Structures are given as C-alpha cells and as structure tokens.
C-alpha cells in the first residue's frame, strides 16, 4: 500500500509518500480500506516534536488520528463489526496512523458511518467535531444566553464550536480570526461580531463589544500573549478552556501576575481540555456526541466547512498550509486519489 510516513521529526518535508506494508489486524482489531484521512493540528505537533501527550517513539511512523472507510478484514474476537461495513473512527495514538491506504485499529474505536454523510465529511465530525462539542458543553460549560469568545473561529475546531455554541443556546458569539477573509467566514457561520487577534490589545475590542463586561466563556488553543489577552476578555466568573497549542506556545500561568495585571480575577475558571479523557473514561459520550453531530448536519443546523482535499502524496503541502495558518475548515487526505 501507499502511505505518508515520517522517518524523523521536523518540518513538513519529513513526510514521505512511499510504499509500506499493509497492517495485519490483531485480535480485537479490524482492517479498513481508508477512503478519507482527516488532518488535525495534533498531527503537526507529533511531526515537529511539539506538545502532544503521546509522542512519536518509533520510525518510520504513519501520522493521522482519524479515518473513514470500509472494513476489509476482522481479527479474532470481533463480532460487532463485519467485512463490508462503512465505518469511521479515531485510532489509538499507540497504533500506526491514518495517512495510509489501509488502517488497522481496535474494533471498539469504530463507529458506523452516519447515513447521508460522505467519507470526507465524516472525518470533520471526529477529532475536530468531538473536540468542539465537548469544548462548548464541558470546557466552556455553556448555559443559555452566555456570551462566548472563540479564537481561531475559522479553523476546523473553531468553526464547529461557533455553530454548536449557537445550537446550545449561546447569546452573543464573538469569533476571533486573523484575516478579513476568515472574519467574513466567521460572520457567515453565525457569529455576532469578529475581532482580529493578531492586533495588539485586541481584548479592548472584545470589552467594547460586550459593553465592558467581558465574555462568560472563551475557547483558545495556545499560550503566550494570545493566552494573556484572552484572560483579559473574561467577565466575572468567566471560564476559559484551552485545547492544545496551535500557536506553538503552551500556556504558562503565573496566577499572581495575571491577577495583579487585572487579566484574571478571583472566581474565574481556567481549564485545560483533552479529547483523550472521553476515549479512556467516557466512550458512551463519544457515540452520543457523534450521533448528535450527524443529526445536526442532516437537519442543516451544522455546516461542515470542508477545506481543501489532497492526495496522500501531498500530505507535506497540507501540513504547510495548516501550520502556516493558510487554511480554513477541515483539511482531508484522499488515500486513493494519486
């Protein structure tokens, strides 16, 4: 089979399109002919040796955490999935990844492909869709009429979180994005207002939009100045949920300094979010969330903003665009397009 593998960590060019052995399903696993592989920022972090809970330890390694395709073989002990089933799912970080024409993974991580949703669209419901869903529900702890600020609101997670916040009853939604084109997309997706988070002191604009109060909740990925600026946007008893480090910086919290500077007040909440918790301890929540997301798509309440689709041989190009913030929506690899 063909795969996009890394033989060392580094820039996008370390992704090599080459021949690789077809994996053999172990007991409890299934083999899938992969029709679509979603690209996520976690893949960038693993490729460049950035922050990620499960580092790459063996080479060559196949990246990619999600897929959609057709079951072609099942391992011993598998009874609830059969050959020919159309499925999608999230692969364990300990198993070889999804930038390949065939993927072997635990049967318990496989879900039936939702009716009426294609392979590429389905990948948007997985890591990005589930992250957005649980970020809004559990990270932001959104309640009806809450105001919410979403950083990188034109991206894969942000664009879905914005729409889900509206579905879950948010009041004012402010989307932050880096270019006029992205801010126009954010408005088109339903935001009430946008801000440019690349401009110094942009938190003052959020304060102005909220008549000086600040937002009840904020979602962001990354640390550094963006992190501090976001804290300054919070209302009394506001909540900030951090997921990952898309800007290459991890949040470092000096509570005394943040409080002294007026960016973090007493009784505000700061949390760090990871999808791994649900995979390990709340698997039933994953299935319920995927069912809800699919129903929102079918009912046209949730728009899947598919970005560019690439052949597997162009994985490095896709990573360059994602890492350079030159993309919007969901980026997808098509393993059989070459």
The SS3 of residue 307 is: strand
Same domain, 85 and 138: no
In a domain, 154, yes or no: yes
Same domain, 158 and 266: yes
Q: What is the CATH number of the domain that holds 100?
A: 3.90.180.10
Same domain, 252 and 325: no
Q: Is the pLDDT of residue 77 over 70?
A: yes
pLDDT score recorded for residue 171: 98
Same domain, 61 and 9: yes
In a domain, 186, yes or no: yes
Kindly state the average pLDDT of the residues 110-115. Answer: 95
Confidence of residue 246 (pLDDT cuts 50, 70, 90): low
Distances (CA, A) of 46 to 90, 151, 325: 16, 22, 17
Confidence of residue 175 (pLDDT cuts 50, 70, 90): very high
Q: Is the pLDDT of residue 68 over 80?
A: yes
| 246 contact partners, CB below 8 Å, separation of at least 6 | 41, 152, 155, 221, 222
Same domain, 246 and 195: yes
In a domain, 287, yes or no: no
Cα angle value 335/336/338 (rounded, 5°): 100
Same domain, 194 and 227: yes
Same domain, 262 and 323: no
The SS3 of residue 157 is: helix
* Residue carrying structure tokens 């129903």: 295
pLDDT digits (tens, 9 = 90+) for 132-155: 999 999 999 999 999 999 999 998
DSSP string for residues in 90-153: E--TTS--SSBSEEEEEGGGEEEPPTT--HHHHHHHTHHHHHHHHIIIIIS---TT--EEETTT
Q: Is the pLDDT of residue 235 over 80?
A: yes
| CA 143 to chain centroid | 22
Candidates 311, 324, 295; CA nearest to 114 is 295
**Residues 266, 239: Cα–Cα separation, whole Å:** 12
Name the β-bridge partners of 71: 32
pLDDT score recorded for residue 272: 80
- In the chain, helix, strand, coil percent, each to 5? 30, 25, 40
Confidence of residue 227 (pLDDT cuts 50, 70, 90): confident
Q: Is the pLDDT of residue 250 over 90?
A: no
Name the β-bridge partners of 217: 148, 239
Q: Is the pLDDT of residue 74 over 90?
A: yes
Same domain, 175 and 260: yes
Same domain, 149 and 256: yes
Same domain, 265 and 170: yes
CB 125 within 8 A of CB 297: yes
- Please identify, among 272, 288, 320, the residue that sits at the C-terminal boundary of a domain: 272
Joined tokens for residue 283: 């698997």
| 15 contact partners, CB below 8 Å, separation of at least 6 | 4, 5, 6, 47, 63, 99, 315, 316, 319
pLDDT score recorded for residue 29: 95
- Please identify, among 251, 272, 293, the residue that sits at the C-terminal boundary of a domain: 272
In a domain, 296, yes or no: no
- Mark 145-172 as b/e (b = at least 16 C-beta within 10 Å): ebbbbbbbbbbbbbbbbbbbbbebebbb
Beta strand segments in the chain, E: 2-6, 15-19, 29-39, 61-62, 66-74, 86-90, 102-106, 110-112, 148-150, 173-176, 193-195, 215-220, 234-242, 269-272, 306-311, 330-334
CB-based burial of residue 290 (10 Å sphere; 0-12 exposed, 13-18 middle, 19+ buried)?
buried
In a domain, 322, yes or no: yes
Please state the domain count of the chain: 2
Q: Is the pLDDT of residue 66 over 70?
A: yes
Mean pLDDT, rounded, of the chain: 90
Same domain, 197 and 318: no
pLDDT score recorded for residue 253: 61
Domain membership of residue 201 as a residue range = 128-272
Same domain, 27 and 84: yes
CB 4 within 8 A of CB 337: no
Q: What is the CATH number of the domain that holds 160?
A: 3.40.50.720
**Residues 121, 332: Cα–Cα separation, whole Å:** 9
């Amino acid at each position: 089979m063909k795969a996009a593998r890394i033989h060392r960590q580094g820039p996008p060019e370390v992704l090599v399109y080459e021949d690789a052995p077809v994996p053999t399903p172990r007991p409890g696993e299934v083999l899938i002919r992969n029709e679509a592989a979603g690209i996520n920022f976690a893949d960038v972090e693993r490729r460049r040796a950035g922050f990620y809970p499960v580092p790459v330890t063996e080479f060559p390694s196949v990246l990619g955490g999600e897929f959609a395709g057709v079951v072609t073989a099942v391992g011993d002990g598998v009874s609830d999935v059969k050959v020919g089933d159309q499925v999608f799912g999230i692969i364990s970080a300990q198993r070889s990844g999804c930038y390949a024409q065939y993927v072997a993974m635990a049967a318990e991580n496989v879900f039936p492909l939702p009716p009426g949703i294609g392979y590429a669209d389905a990948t948007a419901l997985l890591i990005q869709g589930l992250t957005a869903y649980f970020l809004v529900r559990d990270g932001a702890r959104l309640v009806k009429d809450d105001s919410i600020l979403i950083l990188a609101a034109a991206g894969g997670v942000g664009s879905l979180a914005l729409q889900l916040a509206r579905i879950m009853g948010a009041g004012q939604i402010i989307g932050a994005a880096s270019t006029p084109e992205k801010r126009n997309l954010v408005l088109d997706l339903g935001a009430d207002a946008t801000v440019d988070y690349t401009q110094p002191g942009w938190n003052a604009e959020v304060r102005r939009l909220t008549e000086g109060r600040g937002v009840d909740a904020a979602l962001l990925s990354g640390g550094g100045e963006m992190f501090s600026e976001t804290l300054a946007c919070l209302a009394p008893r506001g909540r900030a949920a951090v997921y990952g480090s898309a800007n290459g910086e991890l949040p470092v919290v000096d509570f005394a300094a943040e409080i002294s500077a007026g960016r973090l007040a007493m009784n505000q909440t700061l949390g760090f979010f990871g999808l791994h918790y649900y995979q390990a301890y709340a698997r039933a929540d994953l299935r319920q969330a995927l069912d809800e997301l699919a129903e929102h798509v079918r009912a046209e309440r949730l728009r899947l903003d598919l970005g560019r689709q690439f052949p597997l041989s162009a994985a490095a190009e896709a990573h360059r665009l994602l890492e350079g913030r030159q993309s919007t929506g969901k980026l997808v690899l098509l393993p059989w397009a070459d």
